[in-house]
Amino acid sequence: MPIGKPGGALEKAARVLAAADGVAHVAFFSLFVWRVIAGSGFRVVQGAFALLAGLGVAGGFVGSLLVKHGGKTKAGKIGLWLIATSTALAGVLLVVASWTGD
């Protein structure tokens, strides 16, 4: 299934989503690291979620690069999947942040 023309609407939307997703992951990373430093809750669990937020940033960044430079190739499609996975992870971290809050 082709993903559209290079530089098309899907590619632009995916890259904008990756940018917004990166901002969300940086916020979650900061939140969970702050909870580790402040000693709020289980430090190991909060540290694990901070690590997941860091992986989400990396996944969104790599996905954005693959979409930008991959075009219609398999790499571009993998980039779209990385961005989608990173966005889903941000949703999970939002739920976890609300459950583990102070």
pLDDT in tens, 75-89: 989 999 999 999 999
pLDDT of residue 8: 79
Q: What is the largest CA-CA distance in the chain?
A: 50
Q: Supply the pTM of this predicted model.
A: 0.83
Q: Is 33 exposed, middle or buried (0-12, 13-18, 19+ CB in 10 A)?
A: middle
Sequence-ordered list of residues with C-beta below 8 angstroms from that of 4, at least 6 positions apart, any chain = 10, 11, 72
Read off the pLDDT band of 102 (50, 70, 90).
Answer: low
- Say what the pLDDT of residue 11 is: 86
Rounded CA-CA distance 101/7 in Å is 41
What was the pLDDT predicted at 48? Answer: 93
